[in-house]
Every structure is written in C-alpha cells, then in structure tokens.
C-alpha cells in the first residue's frame, strides 16, 4: 500500500495543551508519526513518499475564504500584537452573543475561529496543515489512478475541522478534501467511515445537507466525550442530506465485541447507500490504554477492523486521525492496514 507523508508535520509542535486544569505536553505531537513510520518500515511498507504541494484551489473550495486567511496570517498578527507565547483561544462567542462579525483584534479572532482551546497555533502550523492536506490529496489521487487503497499519514489530523473553524488538533478537514476529490473524479457516491474515538463533528458539519456523501461515525457518547455538542444518534442529516449521516455513540468501557457490532451496522449502511469509494478517518484512540479516551479495544482487534473494511470491496483512502497511546499507535495503525491488505 502506498503511503503519503510530509516531514513538514514537524513544524507544528505546540509546547503546551490545557488539560484537566494544567498545561501539559500536547497529546497530539510529532512522536505519534515517528512511531507509525517506524512500524510501517518494520512491516515492510516501503512505498512511502512525500505528497508534493497542496492543491490550494481544492482547499479554497472546501473552506471559507476568511477562515483560510486567518490560518495563514494568525501567527504574524499574534506577534505583531506583542503576544509572546503560542496562540491559544481565551474567549469564545457563547449563547446569545453576536456571532456574525469576526473581531478585528487577533485575540478575538482566535476565539471566533476556534472550537476549543486545547489546540494551539504556532509559527509552523499553517505549513504543517497544508502538508497534511497535501498527503490526503496525494493518497486520493493514487486511488483515483486505480490503486485499491492508499494511506495518508496526516498530521495534524482533520476530522474536527469544519469549513470555518479549527479545534480538536485539526485545522483542515483531510477526509472531507478526499471525499470532494473523489466526487470531482467521477465517483457518484462517496462514504466516509470515521472510526476515531472522537466524533468527526467537522466532517458531519460539512456534509450534513448533502445526499452524495454518506458519513458514518463510531465514537464516544457526546454526553461523556469531546466534542460534547455533536454526534448524537438522532443527528441523521438535513434537507437533501436526510438519512446520509449515521452516528453510533457508545458508552465508557465499550469493548470490541460491542464496538464491532456498531462497525457492522455502519458497513451495512454504507453498502445500502451504494458508495463507489470509501474514505476511512483512521483514528486508533479507541485503544484500551489511550490517555484521553475510554473504549477498550486491543491491538489484535485492529487487524479485524481492517479485514472488515476490506470486505466492502471499495477503493479506499485511509486518512490518519487520532491515537495518543504513543507506544502503541504504530502497531494499532499498521494492524488496520495489514488487516485490510490480508483480507
């Protein structure tokens, strides 16, 4: 399986994340990719290449122009305002506040475009986010060209990013980019299967009113897990998109036996939808020892997941999302890919 990955991911490495009332080293950090790469090479995934530059026109079609301008210029504005540290949102528009006018002040802008304040922006974030998007685009081109599957080792991840907001470590929605790229190439119907522990709120938001892209997400119940305010089972799409969103939230302590039943349900729904191609938002933070999640999957389970995805028989693009048990992230990620290839 061809793997696409950019060294520019290293340019995004915030030094702090606000977690449980204190600043900690971010859970989403470069060593995640290093461990995945090491495992890929150990398991003889030798086709690893850089993606080339991002297709900015495609990104501009997906994201709001003002949001992209913010991402590109935020660091310079922050520094010009005399701010010494990294960019972290300090205030947000809340219920009954004015939300239609972005502030001029950079501190206000950050809160306007942020979903949450665990995600910092650094001097290298914009370049890293573009390189992550480029990896997804390159993997998708490879599949459009006739490959059975490809793996975009994206960092930063993407599924929490909407067309005009960042958060959950995400800035540009890589899975959404891939889906639009497949549609533009001639795929009449595309499915996105999000198996990350956290709900793909950004992906759902982007496609909620669409009937040509099906979104299925298996995730921690939003009453208990980030992003908290989206991902309930009664969210099924709206307008033309009614019925093309499937949310399968699960409770703390969910074992693989229960999680797998949800996967079967999602696969059945995607099959009924009649998808021509598949995007997998590949998060492995469902692992039993993940520090910010609460499912109980074990490493061998990821082989089975890959096999079940392969049995769908669809051209498949894997986009890396979460997985924060650093020592296990490589094994679990590659197990999905090997299970897929061995099916």
d(C-alpha 213, C-alpha 305), whole Å:
22
Pairing verdict, β 22-24 and 17-19: antiparallel
215 near 230, Cβ under 8 Å?
no
Q: In what order do the strands lie in the sheet with 2-4?
A: 48-49, 2-4, 149-152, 316-320, 277-282, 190-194, 213-220, 245-250
The residues that are catalytic are 160
Neighbours of 211 (CB within 10 A): 15
Rg, the chain, Cα only: 19
Give the SS3 label for residue 55: coil
3-class DSSP assignment, residue 167:
strand
How far is residue 2's CA from residue 194's CA, in Å, rounded to a whole number? 21
DSSP of 170-187: BSS-HHHHHHHHHHHTT-
């Amino acid at each position: 399986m061809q793997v696409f990955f950019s060294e520019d991911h290293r340019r995004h490495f915030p030094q702090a994340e606000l977690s449980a009332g204190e600043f900690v080293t971010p859970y989403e950090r470069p060593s995640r990719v290093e461990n995945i790469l090491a495992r890929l090479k150990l398991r003889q995934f030798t086709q690893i290449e850089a993606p080339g530059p991002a297709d900015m026109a495609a990104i501009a079609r997906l994201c709001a122009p003002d949001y992209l301008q913010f991402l590109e210029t935020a660091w310079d504005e922050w520094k010009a305002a005399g701010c010494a540290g990294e960019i972290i949102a300090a205030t947000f528009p809340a219920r009954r506040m004015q939300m239609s006018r972005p502030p001029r002040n950079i501190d206000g802008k950050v809160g306007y475009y942020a979903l949450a304040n665990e995600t910092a922006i650094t001097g290298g974030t914009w370049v890293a986010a573009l390189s992550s998007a480029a990896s997804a685009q390159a993997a998708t081109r490879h599949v459009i060209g006739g490959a059975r599957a490809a793996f975009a080792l994206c960092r930063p991840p993407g599924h929490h990013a909407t067309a005009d907001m960042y958060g959950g470590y995400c800035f540009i929605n890589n899975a959404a980019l891939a889906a639009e790229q497949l549609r533009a190439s001639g795929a009449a119907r595309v499915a996105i299967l999000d198996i990350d522990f956290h709900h793909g709120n950004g992906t759902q938001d982007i496609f909620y009113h669409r009937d040509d892209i099906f979104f299925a997400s298996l995730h921690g119940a939003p009453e208990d897990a980030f992003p908290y305010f989206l991902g309930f089972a009664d969210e099924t799409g709206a307008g033309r998109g009614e019925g093309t969103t499937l949310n399968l939230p699960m409770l703390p302590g969910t074992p693989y036996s229960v999680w797998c039943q949800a996967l079967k349900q999602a696969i059945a729904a995607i099959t009924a939808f009649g998808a021509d191609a598949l995007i997998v938002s590949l998060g492995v933070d469902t692992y039993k020892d993940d520090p910010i999640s609460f499912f109980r999957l074990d490493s061998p389970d990821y082989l089975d997941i890959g096999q079940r995805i392969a049995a769908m028989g669809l051209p498949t693009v894997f986009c890396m999302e979460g997985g924060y048990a650093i020592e296990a992230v490589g094994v679990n990620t590659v197990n999905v890919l090997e299970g897929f290839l061995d099916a």
